Amino acid sequence: MIRVGTRGSKLALAQSQMVADEIERVSGEKTELVEIKTTGDGTTVPVAQLGVGVFVNQLRDALENGSIDIAVHSYKDLPTQQPEHLVIAVPPRADARDVLIASQGRTLAELGPGARIGTGSPRRISQLLALGRDFECVPIRGNIDTRIGRVGDDLDAVVIAAAGLKRVSREQEITEYLDPLVMLPAPAQGALAVECRKADKTSARISSMLNDRYSQAAVAAERGLLARLEAGCSAPVAALADVSEGSAPGEIDLYLRGAAFAVDGTVTERLSTTATLRDAEAGDLAAQAAEVGKALAEDLLAGGAEQLLKSEL
Among all residues, which ones are annotated catalytic? 77
| CA distances from residue 209 to 13, 24, 76, 219, 288 in whole angstroms, order as listed | 21, 11, 21, 18, 21
Sign of the dihedral through C-alpha 195, 160, 177, 241: negative
| CA distances from residue 304 to 57, 164, 232, 246, 301 in whole angstroms, order as listed | 32, 33, 18, 33, 5
Burial profile 256-266: b = 16 or more Cβ within 10 angstroms, e = fewer: bbbbbbbbebe
Cβ–Cβ < 8 Å for 38, 55: yes
- Give which of 203, 216, 186, 226 is closest to 89, Cα–Cα: 216
Burial class (CB in 10 A: 0-12, 13-18, 19+), 172: exposed
* 3-class state of residue 185 by DSSP: coil
Q: Distance between CA 252 and CA 257 in Å, rounded?
A: 16
